[in-house]
A and B are shown apart, each in its own frame.
Chain A
């Protein structure tokens, strides 16, 4: 695959035809006040179990104000120029506010002094994190919810590098392992996968990783953990989350285009003489959030279904769709959540449908539909019940049209069929009223 199916990228996510989903650099300077972690030399996202001594560690060479990888005279000059300043002052330099106090003071000077003359110990240009040790050491991060949704149902690998400050011949010093902790099944279950302990016997960079094969589709939260023992003093760098088996392409709100029936934000009501309503459909869809409110009611007694639908990610630009080769199967899927009610009485059936349409780009013509896959929840199984789902759904596809560009559109719709063969019936599929809703949070494609 060489294409890119991303509609929007969040700043710290890297995904362009490779396998890297997210790479956490320990270089985070672009803070605006107030500093989210209390200081420019502290990592923005990671938390440690050492609530003292700079959150259990610090970015290597915190006195390196200009980001050169060295704490030297240039940095001292920059701090001097900014000394005494605070935000709004003409000489204010947030990078010189090393402790994140909101002012450049003698304390910042002290930090610079502690590290003066040091050179960063790092990989690939990103700053490493020096851990504070102190017995059992853990450093963790809860992933952003959009990343979690994209990874639900996928195989993931968490990897990082560490460089021990010291080693023992028997490997008893500065051991480290990677861990993945995840919550699924609506918060009722949790799982943890631990990698092997690495016992270093040389002072060099070691790669540590752990893999979870097939996260549950209802995974709602993921934390990655850097675990070190005993009295773990080491540099940590290039923490990455990877989907090792897949190239993952995904679109999420805002979507490219949307289509609805009836017209977005409106209802259609059918009347029977003298005027009383016998059927109604309503739709509201928001492509900027992926929210769909859909309602279908039918008591017409003529057996015709009443449908309300919303489609997202219609006609995506060809350049933003992955190229699939004939010999490669690929997987389509989405992460959705819905909450609503399926009501029936008499001869009636109501249902909720989530559909994935697969398109193939026909040169000179445009997108051609080549398949559709439905997940249907109906009142036969959930009569007069409120139902709730929050998870991913997926399907493996063989590229029937051969090599080329493929795209996926998602549709959510409600169906009500009330009455059949002159037998009275009343059906309502309500994902519209009050708190009822449908979300299409993600549309995924991976090989």
Chain B
């Protein structure tokens, strides 16, 4: 404490003189105005390889779909109808498919090898065909009928299927999918 008191007195005496000196010393420098570009370079980030094709900026997926039920129970040899509603904020052409929940195919895959395989004995139809192409106008919705048929050879159990709407884009495609839990008795 004694040391602090001594230094307090000494320091305060020095404070005045040195403070005045420093205040004087920091005046009178010339400064140069800058343009906004002078904020310099940002921190370095990895640059794309020169030979790579740059994917253009992506916009948000404009459409979505919903089902009138997310879980349905079917006996072997029977069929059920499900209502699929597709809505969009932009005009879009879509491909509707049904497949296993854990794999949604790309548009190209459907064109090349067809819709994804469903578990044995389960067949899905939009009308009379397994996939269908639809057009949805901007800020509107359309309703489709999906028929699920469970044949006698299907195994009993619970399956999670995915009902998907796929839109072709300039880079490949985007899709929205909702799950459908199918219980086969």
Which residues does A use to contact B, with CB under 8 Å? 47, 49-50, 52-53, 73, 76-77, 79-81, 83, 106-107, 109-114, 116, 132, 134-136, 138, 140, 142, 145, 179, 181, 183-187, 192, 216-218, 220-221, 223, 225, 303, 305, 307, 331, 333, 337, 339, 347, 349, 351, 353, 355, 369-382, 385-398, 400, 415, 417, 420, 435
Contacts and interface: CB of A to CB of B under 8 A. Distances in A.
Contact of B173 (A185, A223, A369, A376): A376
A392 B42 CA distance: 19
Given A225-B39, A379-B108, A394-B60, A186 B54 contact: yes
Contacts of A83: 7, 11
Contact of B172 (A142, A339, A376): A376
Given A134-B31, A387-B53, A391-B57, A109 B11 contact: yes
A374 B172 CA distance: 11
A62 B167 CA distance: 60
B129 interface: no
Nearest to A132: B31
Given A181-B39, A225-B36, A420-B113, A110 B170 contact: no
A111 B104 contact: no
A307 B103 contact: yes
A114 B20 CA distance: 7
25 contacts: A50-B31, A76-B8, A77-B4, A81-B3, A109-B18, A110-B19, A110-B22, A114-B19, A138-B34, A140-B39, A221-B43, A355-B104, A370-B178, A370-B179, A372-B179, A375-B174, A376-B174, A377-B171, A381-B172, A385-B52, A386-B52, A386-B53, A387-B54, A398-B64, A415-B106
Nearest to B60: A394
B3 A349 contact: no
Given A142-B42, A386-B49, A417-B109, A114 B22 contact: yes
A376 B53 contact: no
A-B pairs with the 10 shortest C-beta distances?
A: A113-B19, A113-B15, A80-B7, A110-B18, A134-B31, A136-B33, A221-B42, A389-B55, A388-B52, A114-B19
Interface string B17-38: 1111111001001011110101
B176 A395 contact: yes
Given A376-B174, A377-B55, A303 B36 contact: no
Of B6, B26, B42, B104, most buried by chain A (CB within 10 Å of CB) is B42
Contacts of A186: 47-48, 54
B58 A145 contact: no
A377 B18 CA distance: 68
Nearest to B177: A372
A333 B174 CA distance: 14
Contact size range, B: 35 or more
Nearest to B117: A304
A395 B38 contact: no
Contacts, number: 232
Of B6, B43, B59, most buried by chain A (CB within 10 Å of CB) is B43
Given A110-B22, A181-B36, A391-B58, A81 B106 contact: no
Contacts of A49: 31-34, 38
Contact of A381 (B36, B48, B112, B171): B171
A374 B175 contact: yes
B61 interface: yes
Contacts of A50: 31
A349 B19 contact: no
A53 B170 CA distance: 54
Nearest to A49: B34
Given A386-B52, A388-B48, A378 B39 contact: no
B48 A390 contact: yes
A407 to B, nearest CB: 15
B101 interface: yes
Contacts of A355: 104
Nearest to A110: B18
Contact of A349 (B23, B38, B48, B106): B106
B39 A435 contact: no
A375 B112 contact: no
A324 B4 CA distance: 59
A395 B66 CA distance: 15
B153 interface: no
B124 to A, nearest CB: 17
Of B20, B32, B48, most buried by chain A (CB within 10 Å of CB) is B48
B60 to A, nearest CB: 5
Given A107-B22, A386-B52, 17 more contacts: A52-B31, A53-B26, A81-B7, A114-B19, A135-B33, A181-B39, A355-B104, A376-B107, A376-B174, A380-B108, A382-B172, A385-B52, A386-B53, A387-B52, A390-B48, A398-B64, A420-B113
Contacts of B52: 339, 385-388
A174 to B, nearest CB: 16
Contacts of A393: 58, 60
B49 A142 contact: no
Nearest to A307: B103
Given A138-B39, A381-B172, A349 B26 contact: no
A305 B103 CA distance: 10
